[in-house]
Amino acid sequence: MLVYDVTKRQTFDHVARWVEELRAHADSSIVIMLIGNKADLTDLRAVPTEDAVEFAEDQGLFFSETSALSGDNVDSAFFRLLEEIYGVVSKKALDCGDGKINGGDSAMLKGLKIDVIAAPDFEVSEMKKLSACSC
């Protein structure tokens, strides 16, 4: 996840360099998601959604706007990223043909099911209490 602040244009202007660095130093199958944070601060917005969507499409990135303060779209951004990563990992396993990692004698990939259940009574304010975040 590459996160920029929708209220500070300079943070968005740095995203192109961050994407370039990730692609230069990470695995070619990396999944990159662009996140515009502080979407709740509509009056202070300095980066139009359209600019971010256009950049994300040009670069082949997934995109979402979130609010860490209110929690809006935070879960869905993480779930989307996890789904895309799972898709890449699954495709790699299938491409191996015999189920072995890199075609070698490594252990077979075994799928695990991960259930993520959000308690209905668990509010964002409660999450903040548990967080070590200083925001």
Q: Does this model's pTM top 0.95? A: no
Q: Which pLDDT tens digit goes with each residue over 52-107?
A: 999 999 999 999 999 999 999 999 999 999 999 999 888 887 777 655 545 544 44
Segment (H or E) for 24: helix 15-25
| pLDDT of res. 68 | 96
Domain made up of 2-130: CATH architecture = 3-Layer(aba) Sandwich (3.40)
Q: Which pLDDT tens digit goes with each residue over 3-41?
A: 999 999 999 999 999 999 999 999 989 999 999 999 999
Nearest CA-CA partner of 3 in 83, 63, 45: 63
For residue 104, give the 3-state DSSP assignment.
coil
Q: In angstroms, rounded to a whole number, what is the distance separating the alpha carbons of residues 38 and 95?
A: 40
